[in-house]
Amino acid sequence: MHIPDGFIDIPTSAAFAAIAAVGVGASLKGAAKSLDEKTAPLAGLTATFIFAVQMINFPVAAGTSGHLFGSVLAAVLVGPYVATLALSVVLLLQALLFADGGLTAAGLNVFNLSLVGVWVGYGVFLLVKKILPKNKPSITTAAAIAAFISVPAAVMGFLLQYAIGANSTFSLTAVFTGMMSTHVLIGIGEAVITAFSVTAVMASRPDLVYGYRGTKAQLEIRKA
Amino acid sequence: MKNPLVLVGLALSLVIAGGISFYASSQPDGFEKSAGEIGFLDTAEDSPLAGSPLAEYGVAGVENERLSGGLAGVIGVASTAAISFGIFYALRRFNKSKS
């Protein structure tokens, strides 16, 4: 979901760029507190892996494809602050190097994926994790559900931007219906890729997984 | 970097972006497709960078599609890795007092 230039007018794009900048600024502070010797390389890997996997468009319906957003994958692996930064790096590089996503639209894209996708997704992850039993498979399940929801959540971000400053005049109902019908399917792909990736990291280095930390502490209380 | 997960992950990223990406679906992206069906796709403007040497994940001047896309993918992975590792290692330094 890379918004090109032109969909949303300049004043609205500028306003969202300002909000995105504030969000990224706050995340720099938050990330500095959570990164250490062990998690910094995982954070770099997460950004790089998301860039690579975003190149793989998978078919979702007749004549349509989708690709990973990566918001929840990043949030679960390295925490929401670092995830916001990772997604922003990926989006800005895509816009600057590959002309994927507009330039004036960069703030819109960062808002939708790095802020809405990451933070709504992470919120859902925490909620689901709370309900499920405290074990490793629950982390994957919670990540998959959150990943699925993060896609329509990011679309809602676009809907907000469209409502405020679209350069076209279609009804919000029409935009909502048209966007959601494909993005619910893309959300399923998002959930599958996120589940696979989280499972792989949980199998090799569960100690590095940000979303697993609280769970682990609770399990360690038990003494033999 | 003693962490095999990171090395394996980076190698996998290179393989995905440099090789497997050739087999990605070339159907229009869902966001674009929906915009077309709703009717506002024609309000899209070309990025000011649309003519840049790596635009649309290809390397300008490289005729072979597999090579062009693969090279663009490798350049993308290398750039993302350089910038993100740079930022996250730099941020980690601010955390030194704690650890």
Give per-residue pLDDT as tens, B41-80: 999 999 999 999 999 999 999 999 999 999 999 999 999 9
List, in sequence order, every residue forming a beta bridge with B29; answer none if it has no partner.
A65
Answer yes or no: are the C-beta atoms of A106 and A4 closer than 8 Å: no
CATH number of the domain bearing residue A192: 1.10.1760.20
Among A29, A23, A7, residue whose Cα is nearest residue A168: A7
Yes or no, beta carbons of B45 and A3 under 8 Å apart: no
* Stretch 120-149 of chain A: residues touching chain B, C-beta under 8 Å: none
Full DSSP string of A54-104: HT--EEEETTEEE----HHHHHHHH-HHHHHHHHHHHHHHHHHHH--S-ST
Angstrom distances, CA of residue A156 to CA of A175, B92, B97: 10, 33, 40
pLDDT-based confidence at B3, cuts 50/70/90?
Answer: confident
Residue B63 lies in a domain: yes
* Stretch 20-49 of chain B: residues touching chain A, C-beta under 8 Å: 20-21, 24-31, 33-35, 37-40, 43-49
pLDDT at position B99: 46
pLDDT at position B95: 73
Using the predicted structure, report yes or no on whether residue A46 has a pLDDT greater than 90: yes
Half-sphere exposure of A157 (CA within 13 A, CB side): 30
Element (H, E) at B41: none
Q: Does B64 touch chain A (CB under 8 A)?
A: no
Give per-residue pLDDT as tens, A5-25: 999 999 999 999 999 999 999
Residue A8 φ then ψ, to 5°: -115, 140
Cβ neighbours of A96 (radius 10 Å): 17
Looking at CA atoms only, how far is residue A6 from chain B in angstroms?
Answer: 5
Both tokens of B32, joined, read 């674009």
> Which amino acid does the sequence have at B88?
F
pLDDT at position A61: 85
Residue B5 lies in a domain: no
Yes or no, beta carbons of A44 and B39 under 8 Å apart: no
pLDDT at position B96: 59
Distance in angstroms (rounded) separating the CA atoms of residues A92 and A118: 16
Residue A2 lies in a domain: no
Using the predicted structure, report yes or no on whether residue A217 has a pLDDT greater than 80: no
pLDDT-based confidence at A224, cuts 50/70/90?
Answer: low
Residue B9 lies in a domain: no
Half-sphere exposure of A217 (CA within 13 A, CB side): 5
Using the predicted structure, report yes or no on whether residue B93 has a pLDDT greater than 60: yes
| A131 burial level (CB within 10 Å; 0-12, 13-18, 19+) | exposed
> Which residue from A1, A3, A31 is facing B91, i.e. has the nearest CB?
A31
Angstrom distances, CA of residue A64 to CA of A181, A189, B33, B55: 11, 13, 7, 21
Domain that holds residue A50: 10-220
pLDDT at position A62: 82
Region B80-84: mean pLDDT is 98
Number of domains in chain B: 1
pLDDT at position A180: 96
Strand, helix or coil for residue A166:
strand
Residue A51 lies in a domain: yes
Give per-residue pLDDT as tens, A171-196: 999 999 999 999 999 999 999 999 99
Residue A75 lies in a domain: yes
> Which residue from B16, B44, B99 is facing A56, i.e. has the nearest CB?
B16
Residue B64 lies in a domain: yes
Looking at CA atoms only, how far is residue B94 from chain A in angstroms?
Answer: 6
Residue A121 lies in a domain: yes
Residue A81 lies in a domain: yes
Residue B35 lies in a domain: yes
**In A, which residues are within 8 Å of B29 by CB distance?**
1-2, 57, 64-67
Nearest CA in chain B to A158: B31
Looking at CA atoms only, how far is residue A122 from chain B in angstroms?
Answer: 20
Cβ-Cβ contacts under 8 Å for A38 (sequence gap 6 or more): A207, A208, B3
pLDDT at position A215: 67
Q: Does A67 touch chain B (CB under 8 A)?
A: yes
Residue B87 lies in a domain: yes
Number of domains in chain A: 1
Residue B12 lies in a domain: no
Residue A115 lies in a domain: yes
State the sign of the Cα–Cα–Cα–Cα dihedral A185, A92, B54, B14: negative
Give per-residue pLDDT as tens, A131-159: 999 999 999 999 999 999 999 999 999 99
Angstrom distances, CA of residue B22 to CA of A169, B16, B17, B68: 37, 9, 8, 10
Region B7-27: mean pLDDT is 95
Residue A26 lies in a domain: yes
Nearest CA in chain B to A105: B47
Output the average pLDDT for chain B. 91
Domain that holds residue B85: 26-94
**In A, which residues are within 8 Å of B5 by CB distance?**
42, 45, 201, 204-205, 208
Give per-residue pLDDT as tens, A86-128: 999 999 999 999 999 999 999 999 999 999 999 999 999 999 9
For residue B72, give the DSSP letter.
H
State the sign of the Cα–Cα–Cα–Cα dihedral B50, B51, B56, B57: negative
Yes or no, beta carbons of B79 and A185 under 8 Å apart: no
* Stretch 150-179 of chain A: residues touching chain B, C-beta under 8 Å: 166-168, 170, 174-175, 178-179
Distance in angstroms (rounded) separating the CA atoms of residues A153 and B30: 15
Note the ipTM here.
Answer: 0.94
Give per-residue pLDDT as tens, A201-210: 999 999 999 9
